[in-house]
Structure 1
Amino acid sequence: MVVTAEYHQSARTPDGARLSVQVRGSGPVLLLLSGQANSHHWWDRARADFAHDHTTVTFDYRGTGGSSSGVERYATELFARDALTVMDSLFIDRFSVYGTSMGGRVAQWLAVLAPQRVDMLVLGCTTPGGEHALHSDVAVRRRLMAPDARPYLLSLMYTRQWIATHAGPYHVLGDPTMTTTDRQAHLRASSTHDAWDVLPSIEASTLILHGTDDALIPSRNAQLLERRIPRGRVVLFEGARHAYFDEFRPSAADVVLEALGTRSS
């Protein structure tokens, strides 16, 4: 399927949730999965790096953007099943997946649940979850629980030099339209993710990306994923923090496009 025009639509899950879907670009299909408590706007800047070579598909997780909420418990596996619903609604059978942060956790389940549909997997700034994962420092987590943690979260996403020359808006700090209930449900979904036991069953060639200075999700998780996924390969971005895909573009996008075999000349 090749899509040349940008358009939006809705998809319905088997349990009745409404998912807001966005499609842009043309070429082989690339599904982009956002981070925790973020809508498709997470990809607003980086998406342009792929839309020339790919039909890019995003959707708003339950409780974010234009999607509905209402389930008692969210989970990364549930979000992966939602992603399959989205692709079914677009009549897309095969596609590649690029998930960052919690989106990388969702992408792991997607590759496990539908191995025959995922051509290539890209996991960015993410973790296998569970007891084997390497978590952020206790001091980091404590500061993120403060009443106004937004400036600190921004410093975890980008380097000081980049922040000084880029005034925003920043689309990786959480969807401001979310309810507190949905935000907490996203946090639980992300923090309870555990794909350790199923990672060896991933069949897709897997590119694993991480910034070396990521204090939110330590970069050593990339090596853990590489050792668990049979066809995994790690690329690190020196000096990058959590939002490497934004600050370090287009170099980060070039690595992905080269792995996908679709980089423009």
Structure 2
Amino acid sequence: MATARASDGAAIHYDVRGDGERSLLLLAGQSNDHRWWDSVRADFDARFRTIAVDWRGTGASDKPADDSYSTTRFADDALAVLDDLGIARTHLYGTSMGGRVAQWLAAGHPDRVDRLVLGCTSPGGRHGFERNGAVIRSLTQPDRDAARRALLELMYTPGWLATHPGPHYTVGDPGMTPHARSGHLKASRRHDSWDLLPDIAAPTLVVHGTDDKLSPAANATLIAGRIADARAELIDGARHAYFEEFRAVASPLVVEFLEGRGPARSAYS
């Protein structure tokens, strides 16, 4: 692990693997650290120099007890990592909250992003499609074991969970402070990139599972319609953690896109 310094002085840890000529910055979901990518990262390390970030508040990064948690701040932190590595331009793959952060980074710094992949994410605000009340209630129920199980079932299908007992690195970093966890939740809730999405100049692939109830799949076509050079790919039967459970479909799809190969139209929707 290495450490970058954010503009406010916070230490942002990141992990570098692979030795490809092109870099690929990987941005994890809300309240998760770089381990979010562990189950699929080898699919990218063989071709790219991958960089996975511990968000502020997670992993080995600083956990400020202030209000410095927002998707725009997270984008600045990611930029600090690129600067620390001396990377002028990179491919970018963000999932869930990481996809929200990637939207800011790509729109605000088009010179730094080569190709962009946005997975299981949303533009937020009044235009984004949000999870329904039943999903929210299942995640906020007082029985924490039941709430965790509900989250797992939003991430993966029951059949997959029956044969993959874990550990599951997509359901939150257990080392987070309550303040940091609350900060991440507020950051996602306050995200609204609708007006800036047309500023994204990078060729963009938007990937989503058709059965994602945590971030409804309608967000995929919504986002793709706002970006000039974008296409949406819907993976049939996949839930929020499509990249892990449906690795055999998702990873080749993303690699082909990043390498400038693959179909012009959706092959999996």
Q: What interval of TM-score do these two structures reach, taking the shorter chain for normalisation?
A: over 0.9
User: How large is the Cα RMSD of the aligned pairs?
Assistant: 1.0
Displacement of 1:250 in angstroms is: 2.5
CA distance in 2, matches of 1:52, 1:181: 37
CA distance in 1, matches of 2:6, 2:161: 39
TM-score by length of 2: 0.93
Contact 2:100 2:122 in 1 (8 A): yes
Displacement of 1:262 in angstroms is: 7.1
The equivalences for 1:92-241 within 5 A come to 92-147=87-142, 148=144, 149-241=147-239
- 1:3 maps to none
Partner SS, residue 52 of structure 2:
strand
TM-score by length of 1: 0.95
For the pair 1:51 / 2:49, whether they are aligned, the reply is no
- 1:5 maps to none
Amino acid across the alignment from 1:22: D
Structure 2 gap ranges (5+): 262-269
What do residues 186-208 of structure 1 show as CA deviations (whole Å, max 9, x unaligned)? 00001110000010010000000
CA distance in 2, matches of 1:180, 1:117: 33
CA distance in 1, matches of 2:223, 2:190: 17
Amino acid across the alignment from 2:185: L
CA distance in 1, matches of 2:83, 2:119: 24
The number of residue pairs the alignment matches comes to 256
Partner SS, residue 58 of structure 1:
strand
Structure 1 residues 71-80 or 57-66, which shifts more? 71-80
CA distance in 1, matches of 2:40, 2:93: 12
Contact 1:49 1:250 in 2 (8 A): no
Partner SS, residue 197 of structure 1:
helix
Runs of 4+ in 1 over 2 A off after TM superposition: none
CA distance in 2, matches of 1:94, 1:73: 26
What do residues 84-131 of structure 1 show as CA deviations (whole Å, max 9, x unaligned)? 100000011110000000000000000011101100000000001100
The equivalences for 1:63-82 within 5 A come to 63-70=57-64, 71-82=66-77
What do residues 197-228 of structure 1 show as CA deviations (whole Å, max 9, x unaligned)? 01001000000000000010000000110111
Displacement of 1:176 in angstroms is: 0.3
Amino acid across the alignment from 1:239: G
Partner SS, residue 215 of structure 1:
coil
Displacement of 1:73 in angstroms is: 3.4
Amino acid across the alignment from 1:9: A
Contact 1:53 1:262 in 2 (8 A): no
CA distance in 1, matches of 2:80, 2:114: 17
CA distance in 1, matches of 2:47, 2:7: 32
Amino acid across the alignment from 2:141: A
Contact 2:6 2:77 in 1 (8 A): yes
Aligned counterpart in structure 2 of residue 18 of structure 1, from 11, 14, 24: 11
Partner SS, residue 236 of structure 1:
strand
CA distance in 2, matches of 1:61, 1:255: 26
Q: Percent identity?
A: 54
